[in-house]
Structure 1
Amino acid sequence: MTTENTTPTPADRVLDAALLHVPFDGWSETTLRAAIAESGVHEALARSLFPRGGVDLALTYHRRGDALMRERLAATDLAALRYRDRITTAIRLRLELVEDKEAVRRGTTLFALPTHTADGARAIWGTSDAIWNALGDTSRDINWYTKRATLSAVYSATVLFWLGDDSPAHQATWEFLDRRIEDVMQIEKAKAALRDNPISKALLAGPMKLMEKIRKPDIPDDLPGKMMDRFR
């Protein structure tokens, strides 16, 4: 499944074919070979799109889910919701867009391997970044990092719970998510209390001054290799 209102790219065609094999062979070289044969995409092009084989297939699948989530969020009116409810809605939407839970389960297993944990962490961070950007986050200081780090923890914990949840309509997962969001809110309240406390304010004056210098990364969009995105 491609993002809405788009023509399938070569990467889409390979990925769509791969999804039929992932439940049986995982995100593996075996799956990639079968997908290339069935998609009709030239092997040289497919190999250039997925140079690391199964792990690049899994990452492309994850990014597709993020793209679909962004489209749905853009079409959803969130104005009447509290910010915490907007975040809950985004996470829930991201998971509800998954058509095959086994594909996510296989990906979780793959990214648990020491050789791919960094890829998995970047994928989760990317989802959190996509959610915050979709919700209109404009922070450029240390809050840019803390928001995404906190959301990454909430999202990854929710995914793991969701994978084992067999309750009707995943109701147990949404209750779990609500509890995790509430935990974060309690942390934010504690942080606010520290900032308002004269003693802690004095003790933290030095570290806070240093943290004020931290800025979000500005990543150029014209780096070598970006041209390949048109095929993805």
Structure 2
Amino acid sequence: MSEENRTEPDRLEQTRAALLEAALVHAPFDGWTDATWRAALADTGIDEATARAAAPRRGFDLAVAFHKAGDEEMKRLAAETDLSALRYSERVAKLIRIRLEVAEMHREAVRRGATLFSLPMNAAEGARLIWGTADAVWSALGDTSEDFNWYSKRAILSGVYSSTLLYWLGDQSEGHERTWAFLDRRISDVMRFEKAKAQARKNPLTRVLMAGPAAALARIRAPGAGRIGTGLPVGLPGRRR
């Protein structure tokens, strides 16, 4: 493989990052639209062909890149944060809070992105991004589950994060105190659910009733099971053993 081919992904990433930085000036006003795309091209001086190689869907791909960049920044900050004194549920809440605080500087761009991904034709992409955020949180916390719990943890946290994000976008309280209280309530709801599951497993009647479904779920493996926690790509969608 030539040197040029080896560096192509890096060049595309650098181009996308430059376009995103320029787009964030315009997205709060014009959304993640062609108007923002054209403004980013004009501001950076990047030609259309080069830009389209990095972001084929124009403004839409920049919105996706913006969300993913927030996840990466959250993971970076999480690695620098001492969570040892917190209970596990508090650690989850802390990382969600960090993720939203990362977005605070570009709150209107986040709002425009939420509107974009709520459209029916974009809902699948939006769901993937929220799932990616949930996965980033669990990965930052060192989650090593390789069975059905891998999916359930991320599905539940996706619901918690998406509802908290929407609350945060409309919250005008000082320091977003209402949002953090809302987040704590959602986490408490999850913990009550987990407690109920544990009690059901201990109950002789429900244990018998759930034996069949539990056996079926136990055969489901996480994507890349055996590679989680190694830093290697895990992929999707997993498998049934």
Is TM-score (shorter-chain normalized) higher than 0.5? yes
| SS in structure 2 of the partner of residue 70 of structure 1 | helix
Query: 1:222: Cα distance to partner?
Result: 11
CA displacement 1:120-164 (0-9 Å, x = unmatched)? 000000000000000000000000000000000000000000000
Matches within 5 A, 1:174-193: 174-193=180-199
| SS in structure 1 of the partner of residue 83 of structure 2 | coil
Distance 1:136 1:80 in 2: 16
- Residues 1:136 and 2:157 aligned together: no
Query: 1:221: Cα distance to partner?
Result: 4.9
Does the 8 Å contact 2:27/2:109 carry over to 1? yes
Distance 1:110 1:62 in 2: 12
Gaps of 5+ in 2: 1-12, 236-241
- Residues 1:159 and 2:165 aligned together: yes
- Residues 1:80 and 2:85 aligned together: yes
- Residues 1:126 and 2:132 aligned together: yes
Q: Give the AA of the match of 2:155.
A: A
| SS in structure 2 of the partner of residue 97 of structure 1 | helix
48-57 vs 113-122, greater mean Cα deviation: 48-57
Distance 1:216 1:41 in 2: 41
Distance 2:194 2:86 in 1: 19
Distance 2:190 2:233 in 1: 33
Query: 1:209: Cα distance to partner?
Result: 0.7
Distance 1:195 1:86 in 2: 26
Query: Which residue in 2 is equivalent to 1:11?
Result: 16
- Residues 1:215 and 2:221 aligned together: yes
8-17 vs 76-85, greater mean Cα deviation: 8-17
Q: Which has the higher contact order (CA 8 A, sep 6+)?
A: 1
- Residues 1:23 and 2:28 aligned together: yes
Distance 2:210 2:123 in 1: 34
Of residues 48, 56, 63, the one that matches 1:58 is: 63
| SS in structure 2 of the partner of residue 100 of structure 1 | helix
- Shift of the 222–32 alpha-carbon distance from structure 1 to 2, 3 Å rule, reads farther
CA displacement 1:25-54 (0-9 Å, x = unmatched)? 100111111101211223212111111122
Query: Which residue in 2 is equivalent to 1:5?
Result: none
Of residues 207, 217, 229, the one that matches 1:201 is: 207
Q: Give the AA of the match of 2:202.
A: D
Query: Which residue in 2 is equivalent to 1:94?
Result: 99
Query: Which residue in 2 is equivalent to 1:4?
Result: none
Query: Which residue in 1 is equivalent to 2:114?
Result: 108
How many percent of aligned residue pairs carry the same amino acid?
A: 55
Q: When you count helix as a share of all residues, which structure comes out higher?
A: 2
Does the 8 Å contact 2:223/2:234 carry over to 1? no
Query: 1:11: Cα distance to partner?
Result: 1.2
Say how many residue pairs are matched.
217
Query: Which residue in 2 is equivalent to 1:171?
Result: 177
CA displacement 1:150-197 (0-9 Å, x = unmatched)? 000000000000000000010000000000000111111111111110
Q: Give the AA of the match of 1:156.
A: S
- TM-score (normalised: structure 2): 0.87
Distance 1:113 1:166 in 2: 25
